[in-house]
Amino acid sequence: MNVIDKPLSSDITLGVLLDALAAVPDAPLVFSYDGNSVRPGYHVTEVKAGQFSALDCGANPEAWAEIFVQLWDIDEDGRTHMPAGKFLAIISKVSDHVRLEPSAKLTFEVSDGERPMSLYCASAPRLIAGSFEVCLTARPASCKPRDRWLAEKQATSSCCGPAANGSKCCA
């Protein structure tokens, strides 16, 4: 099974999205959020890249790269959903002027022009019935020290941590 066939967890990188879309550039690209698909006339209105430095609530320094893709969810002129290849061409055009790091965290900003813009993370694209579907889920706030603690705790749990004989019990 490859990235086109199986959904990955939310919060994919730009590189994961672009690699999947390149496999079938003629496939329509359909984003869904808040239980609905974007309308066929949607636009990619802005792509921006940022390098962030921060101090989290535990006084730990944080640094990351993030790419924001802004979607304007409108229905215009009887258009169909954008082909994956057109999305790739837009990103390519942006990369001629802005450094886009493939491993950067990917965030979508979505609005229909009436409701306020909301932030979403994306699951890996899935090719379903000839169309790429990308599920966008609301990007929640989080506490990075707590997130690291939970990840460490999960890594040492009886299921996925080292077993008594040194092997792992789940693949």
- Give DSSP secondary structure letters for 1-45: --TTTSPPPS--BHHHHHHHHHTSTTSBEEEEETTEEPPTT-EEE
One-letter amino acid for residue 76 of the chain: E
Helix, strand, or coil (residue 135): strand
For the cut 60, the answer to whether the pLDDT of residue 108 exceeds it is yes
Q: Sign of dihedral through CA atoms 117, 121, 125, 129?
A: negative
> In terms of pLDDT, which residue wins out, 18 or 168?
18
Among residues 110, 108, 69, 85, the alpha carbon closest in space to that of 29 is found at 85
Helix then strand count (H, E) for the chain reads 3, 8
What predicted TM-score, i.e. pTM, was given to this entire model? 0.82
Cα separation, 48 vs 100, in Å, equals: 8
**Mean pLDDT, all residues of the chain:** 87
Average pLDDT rounded to a whole number, residues 22-27: 97
Q: Take residue 106 and report the two structure tokens written for it.
A: 């990917």
**Residues near 31 by beta carbon (within 8 Å), at least 6 away in sequence:** 37, 38, 42, 71, 108, 110, 122, 134, 135, 136
For the cut 50, the answer to whether the pLDDT of residue 5 exceeds it is no
For residue 11, name the pLDDT band (cuts at 50, 70, 90).
Answer: confident
pLDDT in the model for residue 93: 97
β strands within 79-129, DSSP E: 105-111, 118-122, 126-128
Among residues 66, 90, 70, the alpha carbon closest in space to that of 18 is found at 90
Average pLDDT rounded to a whole number, residues 89-108: 96
For residue 111, name the pLDDT band (cuts at 50, 70, 90).
Answer: very high
pLDDT in the model for residue 7: 41
Scan for tokens 């055009």, then name that residue: 93
Average pLDDT rounded to a whole number, residues 76-84: 90
CA 121 to chain centre: 5
Distances (CA, A) of 146 to 57, 86, 142, 143, 153: 10, 40, 8, 5, 10
pLDDT in the model for residue 127: 96
Look at 9-13, 21-25, 149-153 and tell me which has the smallest mean pLDDT.
9-13
pLDDT in the model for residue 37: 95
For the cut 90, the answer to whether the pLDDT of residue 156 exceeds it is no
